[in-house]
A and B are shown apart, each in its own frame.
Chain A
């Protein structure tokens, strides 16, 4: 009978092997499927006195062919690749936005300054002035447009974060469910692995790795504990935690983790996956870009205003602001009272970072620059309200009332680009003239009355204090004392010795807007110069020339860059970050491909191989069947012998 038993065992073994080949072939395109193999062993032989006779084959186990090392590597490379991909997708949007000459800031900036020059060419022209105001408005609109696009991207980040987190929560629940099924199935089978469930779990983990970095720890009961990011527990056995999105302050989103015991913000622990890419994009590109744009808008509006204030309009007004300047935004976190305000003092010293202000109790606050965690201690000395010294170009005004560890987020430049606008609508108010002029005294017919040949240059001012003048200032030369007597107000004298100073001597009258002018030549005793309000000077463009100079002056980034340079730096910064992520995305994609290839090489189904196996097991099945037939013949021979 041993022949028949051995043949039957061979038949069964071949049958199982063929079934597995069939299973493999069916799953050739199933995602995450690992090919399975029937492990055969020889049955325990029978002792027949002279020795052991073999008694056939038996199936010891059916296992899937996997490599734990490759599996882990695939998760890692999937997370990294997905992180850079999602970063790159978002970054490319910013990159594209800045790429187009039509949508960038450059043309508007250029048109605005060209319009100023056109006003300089023809200051009396209302049309030229109107064009300048319109160009200024389109510059402001362009700032707002770019800012809006960045804000749209912020909204998109929020939507993507929500989508990803809802996916993660679904996967976490599925994993918790599959964990318990695996534990059950393994128990039922006395420890034999439930291959296809394991594959399914692996697929889920890989899906999770697309979203965030995953680490797993296998338990004795075959369940897996799943940790995301830098060790945040997502699934423990059959219990899943859930993630959520929290807007900690306007436009800034964080990730929170909730389990039955607690809820906490874990943004800092999130890494990898598209979730990590989105968070990186928010903190490393979107917020700095928005701030840099705002900083440029503040720089342009503030410095332009400073010069514009020093000019006179067609009606002789001075000290008029041209642009509205965006103010810093302060957000009190949690229950902190709204007792902190902030203002810009020096647009060239601004950074593109946001700041965290924390109250430590007593008189002590700590300001942290979020981009590099530089801290500044602030001591109010008990004063309330207390104005801090300028830090990075802005100050804070703190009123007492905060509770210890209250926090504030201070964003000095975030409103810059959204709040810039043109304050002037009347073309006459554009201040391109110099407010004061200098000249020799004349009689009623406009004929100079001086005897000497001394001359005075035009008068420039550097502040508007005392301007326009309440009355003309007359400088009368006193030959005996070699000086000019200044009429009151302000009175006083200016020493001028024609013998030594005739090539030109510069004077400043502080009380008249720091009026600066140069006197040269040889005045006679009693010769007079007049410094007066520049009324009716429709053709004067002195302040206009200074305004157009702003375009090339290095006024921003601590005096190292012009408006255009600052924008260029921003564009180059976005460009190189995008380029960098493009390169690493390509590299990580290749790495991921290689890992997939390695995994497929080990675990993937090859139809040709299965065809060969099929033939092999078909033959062994036929052979085993033949053996049964032989056993039958033998049995028949034996029976016939007794007939």
Chain B
């Protein structure tokens, strides 16, 4: 085939330019370390990179959320641990207070310590986290949850909300518990019913806080136990406000013996007077501060008579039971916090694994295989040199040189 001289020159030049463009491409890839420089290099890959990038960054965010939840829950856990320490000390004091050998002054000293412990618990319940949010006020994180009213009772101003954080695409984790759940929502008495000895009682009867022995037979009602008979030959009878007579009056009474009816069991130790009354009523909700305050009131009672002594026991015993219930409630919350901490820890590990997986997939899609690229660069350099050499060699040839 004929080749025109002009085209011959042109073609040599075009091929050099082409080789240069290919070289520039690979140079750009190598210097950026990326296989895909613009969407047209690999449209599917480009969309995939966007997706992976987002997944990676979302997972990072989940890790941050999980870290925040972990911090708050760890703080909650240590706060509740301190609360329980205080409760244990209060319980010890309460038991000391039941000792009949200590006098009024000793009890006052004990009451003083319980007060201090109570203040300690209140300030723990008003704990703020590092972000100045109250830990135990539900959603109302900027509202101080527990304040003391003029009458000395404690008012809960938070709400019952519990905040969740997203720690993975399908999992939200509660990062706190409301003060209502931790400190307020505790039953008084033994959890089902409360026992109450009439303050006007003249005898030394100490009312047991009792328990439910047969839940199916238990009937929730307000019962009154009335002591009858004669001194030395005491009897009792029980009447329910709704149930009517459940134990006929005249039933023989024994010191420390059990009194059992409608699925519940209690007892009276000591010697009540004829006409003394004891009542059993359904438990209601009572915050733990009130329970502790009840204990303080019992310890501050001044007495010198055996009857007065039994009055104090009749106050301390329910308070002790309520402190135990409060303790149990906090244990329940701590168990849940512990489980959440464990779940978050696990999730952090899972997220970390997922991130590594994502990063390696992303790298496969986006990053350049440097070794392969270096070989490619070498071969393109050779091609360019060849094109240049050919061009100069061929350009020199002309028949006119030989005429």
Contact = CB atoms under 8 A, between A and B. Distances in A.
Interface stretch (A77-85, A376-384, A438-446): A438-446
Interface residue SS majority, chain A? helix
Contacts of A444: 155
A606 B393 CA distance: 18
B164 interface: yes
- Of the candidates B40, B41, B158, B172, the one having the most CB atoms from chain A within 10 angstroms of its own CB is B40
Given A446-B155, A446-B180, A540 B39 contact: no
Given A451-B282, A601-B4, A575 B40 contact: yes
B50 interface: yes
Interface string A574-609: 111011001000000000010011001111111111
A600 B2 CA distance: 8
B37 A99 contact: yes
A619 interface: no
A106 B53 contact: yes
A117 interface: yes
Nearest to B284: A451
B161 A537 contact: yes
A124 B142 CA distance: 7
B156 A458 contact: no
B123 interface: no
B378 interface: no
Contacts of A605: 4-6
A541 B164 contact: yes
Nearest to B4: A604
Contacts of B350: none
A451 B47 CA distance: 58
B1 interface: yes
A439 B37 CA distance: 56
- Of the candidates A101, A433, A539, A607, the one having the most CB atoms from chain B within 10 angstroms of its own CB is A539
B241 to A, nearest CB: 15
A497 B14 CA distance: 87
Contact of B285 (A96, A106, A448, A458): A448
A605 B10 CA distance: 13
A602 B185 CA distance: 101
Nearest to B287: A447
B75 to A, nearest CB: 14
Given A446-B155, A565-B51, A572-B43, A121 B38 contact: no
Contacts of A449: 284-285
Interface string B47-67: 100110110011001001100
A28 B141 contact: no
B44 interface: yes
Interface in B267-305: 282, 284-287
Given A536-B143, A572-B44, A445 B153 contact: yes
B248 interface: no
Contact of B139 (A106, A125, A534, A573): A534
A295 B403 CA distance: 73
Contacts of B54: 106, 109-110, 564
B160 A440 contact: yes
A496 interface: no
Contacts of B51: 564-565, 568
Interface string A332-361: 000000000000000000000000000000
Interface residues of A, number: 79
Contacts of B160: 437, 439-440
A444 B38 CA distance: 65
A371 interface: no
Interface in B148-189: 149, 153-161, 163-166, 169, 172, 180, 184-185
Interface string B1-27: 111111100010010000000000000
Given A536-B140, A539-B139, A571 B57 contact: no
B142 A447 contact: no
A503 B86 CA distance: 36
A612 B160 CA distance: 105
Contacts of A440: 160
Contacts of B381: none
Interface residues of B, number: 67
Contacts of B7: 596-597, 600-601, 604
Given A125-B131, A447-B286, A572-B44, A609 B2 contact: yes
Nearest to A576: B43
Contacts of A124: 131, 133, 141-142
Contact of B39 (A98, A593, A597): A98
A114 B61 contact: yes
Contacts of B156: 442, 445-447
Interface in A119-161: 120-125
Contacts of A122: 68, 131, 133
Nearest to B175: A121
B286 A571 contact: no
Given A110-B53, A601-B2, A601-B4, A579 B43 contact: yes
A551 interface: yes
- Of the candidates A104, A565, A571, A615, the one having the most CB atoms from chain B within 10 angstroms of its own CB is A571
A612 B159 CA distance: 106
Given A110-B53, A568-B47, A606 B61 contact: no
A548 interface: yes
B163 A541 contact: yes
B4 A540 contact: no
Given A539-B141, A551-B58, A117 B64 contact: yes
Contacts of A439: 159-160
B37 A612 contact: no
A273 to B, nearest CB: 21
Contacts of A109: 54
Contact of A447 (B1, B137, B285, B398): B285
Given A114-B57, A120-B165, A437-B161, A537 B140 contact: yes
A287 interface: no
A492 B141 CA distance: 34
A615 B161 contact: no
Contacts of B157: 446
A538 interface: yes
Contact of A446 (B14, B166, B184): B184
B403 A611 contact: yes
A575 B285 contact: no
A101 B133 CA distance: 37
A643 interface: no
A439 B184 CA distance: 14
A446 B68 CA distance: 28
Contact of B50 (A106, A114, A539): A106
Nearest to A451: B282
B2 A606 contact: yes
A545 interface: yes
B333 interface: no
Closest 10 pairs (CB-CB, A-B):
A604-B4, A575-B39, A446-B156, A539-B141, A575-B43, A537-B139, A99-B38, A578-B40, A600-B7, A540-B139
Given A99-B46, A442-B180, A545-B166, 8 more contacts: A120-B65, A539-B133, A539-B140, A540-B163, A572-B44, A575-B39, A601-B2, A601-B3
Interface of B: 1-7, 11, 14, 37-44, 46-47, 50-51, 53-54, 57-58, 61, 64-65, 68, 131, 133, 137-143, 149, 153-161, 163-166, 169, 172, 180, 184-185, 220, 282, 284-287, 398-400, 403
27 contacts: A28-B6, A95-B38, A106-B53, A117-B65, A124-B131, A437-B159, A440-B160, A445-B155, A445-B156, A446-B156, A447-B285, A447-B286, A448-B180, A449-B285, A451-B282, A536-B140, A540-B139, A541-B163, A548-B166, A552-B169, A564-B54, A567-B50, A569-B47, A575-B38, A575-B46, A582-B40, A606-B5
Interface of A: 28-29, 91-92, 95-96, 98-99, 101, 104, 106, 109-110, 113-114, 117-118, 120-125, 433, 437, 439-440, 442, 444-451, 458, 534, 536-542, 545, 548, 551-552, 564-565, 567-569, 571-576, 578-579, 582, 593, 596-597, 600-609, 611-612, 615
